[in-house]
């Protein structure tokens, strides 16, 4: 069993962990020379392996907070952790601070 693009869009994710990256950083040229400061956001639930490394390309994140209107923003990159959770990177100017427990849906751009 694998995770498809449709599964990504149908899953209600929750922010499980937030890792701050305070300085510009590099992916050794895989994406671009320098990535901006921001947050690595790890999402629950764990998923089976993605059916393609590119199945989430073009999807945006829709952040739901209690009592607030949903915000849509583009994450800079995403990957699947070894434990099956998705990890998305958001530049610091994408949204204000996210909180553990916030809901994120992946939606078409």
Quick one: average pLDDT of 37-65? 91
Interval 73-98: pLDDT, tens: 888 888 889 999 999 988 887 766 78
Quick one: average pLDDT of 29-55? 83
What topology is assigned to 5-108 in CATH? Elongation Factor Tu (Ef-tu); domain 3 (2.40.30)
Higher pLDDT, 91 or 47: 47
Which 3-state string (H, E, C) describes 19-81?
Answer: EEECCCECCCCCCCCCECCEEEEEEECCCCCECCCCCCCCEEEEEECCCCCCEEECCCEEEEC
Interval 6-32: pLDDT, tens: 999 999 999 999 988 887 766 665 555
Residue extents of the structural domains in the chain:
5-108
């Amino acid at each position: 069993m694998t995770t498809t693009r449709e599964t990504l869009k149908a899953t209600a994710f929750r922010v499980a962990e937030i890792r701050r990256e305070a300085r510009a950083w590099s992916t050794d040229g895989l994406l671009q020379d320098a990535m901006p400061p921001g947050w690595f956001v790890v999402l629950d639930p764990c998923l089976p392996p993605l059916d393609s490394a590119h199945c989430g390309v073009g999807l945006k994140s829709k952040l739901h907070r209690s009592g607030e209107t949903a915000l849509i923003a583009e994450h800079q990159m995403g990957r699947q952790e070894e434990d099956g959770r998705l990890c998305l990177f958001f530049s610091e100017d994408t949204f204000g601070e996210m909180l553990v427990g916030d809901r994120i849906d992946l939606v078409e751009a």
